[in-house]
Amino acid sequence: MTVSSRLRIFVSVGPDLEAEREVVGETIASLPVSLGWVIRYTPGMGEPPRGALEAVAACQFYVLLMGSDIRAPVGAELQVARKRSKQVLAALKDIPRTPAAQVFIKDVSLDWQRFHNQSELGFLLRHALAEQLLENAVVYGISPVDWETLSALLAELKHGETPESEQDEMTPRRRGAGSDAVIVAPSRDLPSDGVFMEPP
């Protein structure tokens, strides 16, 4: 059985959820595991596709975030995810929606998880990712220490309450986490004699 060197996640998201893209990046980076990640998102307005559908096909985690409207290529990304039998985390923000979005939500027949703010979305993501990592610990090469840490996190999330509402605004500290990214895991991505260099 081959162990994944980096875990790949694809997030289908419309242009009205820029702040939520940031939450995804921050949530993954904050997971208490020594894993590397490749994070890809639906291309933004005016951005070239850059192999988005291929990235969906190659991902281990697929997330669909729905806001006020549905725009291409989100529908095509979901089709690829379903064709490749990806488990879908579908999260629906509680805001007014266009008629097109309402039809899409009804027609795709997904188990939508609702969220009101960024804290609730982070909670949903942490819970879903921790569950999937634990369920596939051998495939992802989860160490015993990471397994214990994730198990404790999942127990805390299951017994904890959904976070209180918070103001849905990005602070300057949180900008930049919503773009395609690679999160490096030193224990996996560095050679045994490798050393991290701090920027000057």
Phi–psi pair at 45, nearest 5 degrees: -55, 125
The DSSP result for 46-99, as a single string, is T---TTHHHHHHH-SEEEEEE-S---TTHHHHHHHHHHTT--EEEEEESS---H
Q: Which pTM was predicted?
A: 0.80
The pLDDT assigned to 3 comes to 55
Domains delineated in the chain: 6-162+178-184 (3.40.50.11230)
Per residue in 52-70, pLDDT (tens digit) is 999 999 999 999 999 999 9
The pLDDT assigned to 178 comes to 47
What integer is the mean pLDDT of 149-172? 67
Residue 15 CB partners (closer than 8 Å, separation 6+) = 44, 45, 71
The pLDDT assigned to 34 comes to 84
The pLDDT assigned to 46 comes to 73
Average pLDDT of the chain is 82
